[in-house]
Amino acid sequence: MSYQREETSRAPRNDRDPTRGDRYRAYDDNSKVRNREDRTAGPSSRGESRRFRDSPYERREYQERGREREQERDRDPKYERREYQERDRERERERDRERYDKTREGRYEDRSSRHQRRSASPRSRSSRPRSSSGDRSPKPEKAKPNFAQSGLLAAETNTVKAADGTSTVLKYNEPPEARKPTLSWRLYVFKGSEQVELLHIQRQSAYLIGRDRLVADISMDHPSCSKQHAAIQYRYVQEKGESKGAVKPFIIDLESTNGTLVNDEKIPAARFYELRAGDVIKFGLSTREYVLLNEEAAS
């Protein structure tokens, strides 16, 4: 049994609905136009420009949105800071103007008062109370030149240098009336009741006594004596009522620590004290006694 397929002729789709293609074309054209309008509408939603042109209600709504945006911008802290800064600047300008005005007024008052003082008569000046000395601080006086002796030259000339490089400044200088003695004076040194030494002190005008052997003429070893303790000086003295003078022995204490004794009495420091034959001299706390005698008294 054979089956035969019936072939039926099918008509094209366009033939079925002849207006269908035209409708598709019109739809495509309208969509292109809408896309162009949406692109040119700006930041608003699609189709808003058309509604904005078409309805007045949408126009009002757009205006209200713009106002809300402006209010939000006003609420922005950056915008508020700008306003605050501008206000501060205005306040500072007003303060500067006030200060300038005050200083200007003060200068004007000072000038007017000076002008009044200059134009015042001598009577009015005398009638004004004088300012007390306590109101104005005294001006410091300029230092006057000092022409007194500094002692540097004397220290340079009185410096004694040793072989090892050390130097000692002499505390004593002989006076202009210094003379060599005409009599032969001697110092008898006793320790207790025993004579220890005999010193001849007539060869020069002065004898320095102390522990410093570099400069001392009569050296001492007791620790209570100073390095430059005292000096025996022969001076030419002319007494009143006498035409001729005489050379006499004197002793001077060079401001020693423990002082000098003559006949068990402490003599003043830095002053000449006259010695006589038979005087007993002690230096410091030493127990040694120095008896002063000359050739006449010894004989």
The whole-number pLDDT of residue 253 equals 97
Single pTM value for the model: 0.49
* Domain stops at, among 102, 127, 148: 102
List the structure tokens of 42: 């700006």
* Domain stops at, among 85, 102, 119: 102
Q: Say how many domains are in the chain.
A: 2
Q: Residue 287 domain-assigned?
A: yes
CB 295 within 8 A of CB 184: yes
List the structure tokens of 115: 């002008």
Bridging pattern class, strands 206-210 and 218-219: parallel
The whole-number pLDDT of residue 81 equals 62
The whole-number pLDDT of residue 268 equals 94
The whole-number pLDDT of residue 52 equals 47
The whole-number pLDDT of residue 155 equals 61
Q: Are residues 182 and 70 in the same domain?
A: no
Say whether 10 sits in a helix, a strand or coil: coil
Q: Residue 243 domain-assigned?
A: yes
Report the CATH number that the domain containing residue 211 is assigned in CATH: 2.60.200.20
The whole-number pLDDT of residue 1 equals 46
Q: Residue 11 domain-assigned?
A: no
Q: Residue 3 domain-assigned?
A: no
Residue range of the domain that includes 80:
47-102
Q: Residue 110 domain-assigned?
A: no
Q: Residue 293 domain-assigned?
A: yes
Query: pLDDT tens for residues 108-128?
Result: 666 666 656 555 545 545 455
The whole-number pLDDT of residue 45 equals 47
Query: pLDDT tens for residues 48-99?
Result: 555 444 566 677 777 788 788 777 766 666 656 666 677 788 888 888 888 8
Q: Residue 76 domain-assigned?
A: yes
Q: Are residues 177 and 263 in the same domain?
A: yes
Task: Spell out, as residue ranges, where the chain has pLDDT lower than 70.
Answer: 1-57, 73-84, 107-136, 151-156, 298-299
Cα–Cα separations (whole angstroms), residue 132 to 102, 185, 217, 246, 259: 31, 71, 65, 64, 54
CA-wise closest residue to 275 among 265, 287, 285, 288: 265
Q: Residue 127 domain-assigned?
A: no
Q: How far is it, in rounded angstroms, from Cα 26 to Cα 280?
A: 158
